[in-house]
Amino acid sequence: GQQLNQSPQSMFIQEGEDVSMNCTSSSIFNTWLWYKQDPGEGPVLLIALYKAGELTSNGRLTAQFGITRKDSFLNISASIPSDVGIYFCAGFQGAQKLVFGQGTRLTINP
């Protein structure tokens, strides 16, 4: 079963608004990843975080690796229609095995 809990499960926002979503775990993860999945496609990596406290940006996306190593958040600024999709957090369990959250579905009203 899933070990990462994402919230909210879904978001409905207006174009141009900022978005914030987060991910928590009962276990420590040494790497946090954020993926986006479009319908009919596989997940695509957006941001990777490797150190507790790390804050990383990728364009309009910003993510932080929590100090306790049990949480992370993802912010999207000035949302645009192509941001629609499902966002997943993920962490490595062991060297290669990825564990995913259940996803946050983002819908944008133009």
d(CA 82, CA 99): 26
Which residues, 47 to 66, sit near other proteins by CB under 8 A? Answer: 48, 50
Using the rule CB under 8 A, is 40 a contact of other proteins?
A: yes
- CB-wise, 2 or 20, nearer to other proteins? 2
Q: Quick one: which of 88, 80, 75 has its CA closest to 37?
A: 88
Question: Positive or negative CA dihedral for 15, 5, 95, 67?
Answer: positive
Binding region for other proteins (CB under 8 A) out of 14-22, 61-69, 73-81, 84-92: 84-92
Q: In a 10 Å sphere around its CB, with 0-12 CB exposed, 13-18 middle and 19+ buried, how is residue 82 labelled?
A: exposed
Using the rule CB under 8 A, is 99 a contact of other proteins?
A: yes
* Residues at the site binding other proteins, with contacts judged by CB under 8 A: 2, 4, 31, 33, 40-45, 48, 50, 88, 90, 92-103
